[in-house]
Amino acid sequence: QVQLVESGGELVQPGGSLRLSCAASGGSFSTYAVGWFRQAPGRERNFVGAITDDGTKTYFAASVKGRFTISRDNAKNTVYLSMTSLKPEDTAVYYCAVGNYGLGTQPYHYDYWGQGTQVTVSS
């Protein structure tokens, strides 16, 4: 069983930057791929990006490619989602999740989820 806690969400102006963290405990974190998803009110949960267990490969949704990056520090059991050039449409609750599928893009590719952190992009 892996427990995940996201943090770093806040209100930011359009064009701004933000870094979210996903801290893991209770499992073999370094053996899992990590995905980030987001969910806006009234909408389905959508894939943002993912990173392999060893951190060598990442994959992003077209809507965030070139603006978002993912990195991980397995020694700290933490994954980071760095977001730049933020837009109002990036407003959502952001979730991290772990699984063994690799660079999965669907929620069912992941086994454990955090509780989410709110990101609001507004002037």
Contact 39, 95 (CB under 8 A): yes
| pLDDT-derived band at 72, boundaries 50, 70, 90 | very high
Q: What is the pLDDT of residues 40-66, one digit of tens each?
A: 999 999 999 999 999 999 999 999 999
Query: What pLDDT is attached to residue 102?
Result: 87
Average pLDDT over residues 29-48: 96
Q: What is the pLDDT of residues 79-94, one digit of tens each?
A: 999 999 999 999 999 9
- Per residue, the 3-state secondary structure of 16-52, as one string, reads CCEEEEEEEECCCHHHCEEEEEEECCCCCCEEEEEEC
| C-alpha–C-alpha distance, residues 86 and 11, integer Å | 11
